[in-house]
Amino acid sequence: MILPILHYPDKRLRTKAVAVPVVDDAIKTLVSDMFETMYEAPGIGLAATQVDHHIRLIVIDTSEDKSQPLCLINPEIIEKDGELEWDEGCLSVPNYYECVTRANHIKVKALNEKGEEFELEAEEILGVCIQHEIDHLDGILFVDHLSKLKQRRLLEKTRKAQK
């Protein structure tokens, strides 16, 4: 099932998500719906926050042929180093792209869709995407990392587009 995606400046995107206590059938259904929604959008990642479910769950696939689905439940960054700049976009901020500085290399710990713990090292687009998605779970959008001037211009542009 395709789920509706919340759009900036919707206040619900500011909700801090809570940990998933158990990976049950309801969570598995949500994971499946989130993959379908992400692929259909299309996007390379989606956080539960964006579909108005305020639990710590993200799905990602940075491959070109939808061949590397990745589900991270209760993800935690346990190591990060270096810096890189990446031109980011967001399904919750349509038609807007800006460069954001992130950690260059991260190590994350999470549960998969079967509830098993795993660790993953990531850099470049995958590392950027994981950091972008974990931000969503904390109510943070990539635009929060931009200058106040850019944020004001974006709000103005968003208001005009909604008229």
Within 10 A of 71 (CB to CB), how many other CB atoms are there?
Answer: 22
**Residue 83 in contact with residue 100, Cβ under 8 Å?**
no
134: which residues sit within 8 A by CB, 6+ positions away? 47, 58, 75, 77
Q: Which phi and psi (to 5°) does residue 78 adopt?
A: -105, -15
Which residues sit at the interface with ligand GNR, rule CB under 6 A?
43-47, 50, 86, 88-92, 128-129, 132-133, 136
- Which residue is closest to ligand GNR by CB? 43
Is 133 marked active-site? yes
- Judged by beta carbon distances under 5 to 8 A according to partner kind, the member of Ni ion, ligand GNR, none in contact with residue 13 is none
Residue 65 CA to chain centroid, in angstroms? 19
Minimum separation from the CB atom of position 76 to ligand GNR (A) = 18
- Catalytic choice (88, 98, 113, 133): 133
Query: Two tokens at 21?
Result: 């206590």
> Could you tell me the smallest distance in angstroms from the CB atom of residue 117 to Ni ion?
25
Residue 129's binding partner among ligand GNR, Ni ion, none (Cβ under 5 to 8 angstroms by kind) is ligand GNR
Count of residues for the chain?
163
Partner that binds at residue 127, options Ni ion, ligand GNR, none, CB closer than 5 to 8 Å by kind: none
From the list ligand GNR, Ni ion, none, which binds 73 (C-beta under 5 to 8 Å, kind-based)? Answer: none
- Toward ligand GNR, which CB reaches closer, 20 or 140? 140
Among candidate residues 34, 139, 147, 160, the one with its CA nearest the CA of residue 95: 160
Neighbours of 65 (CB within 10 A): 6
Nearer Cβ to ligand GNR, position 17 or 47?
A: 47
Q: At closest approach, how far in Å is the CB of 36 from ligand GNR? A: 14
Q: Which residues are catalytic?
A: 133
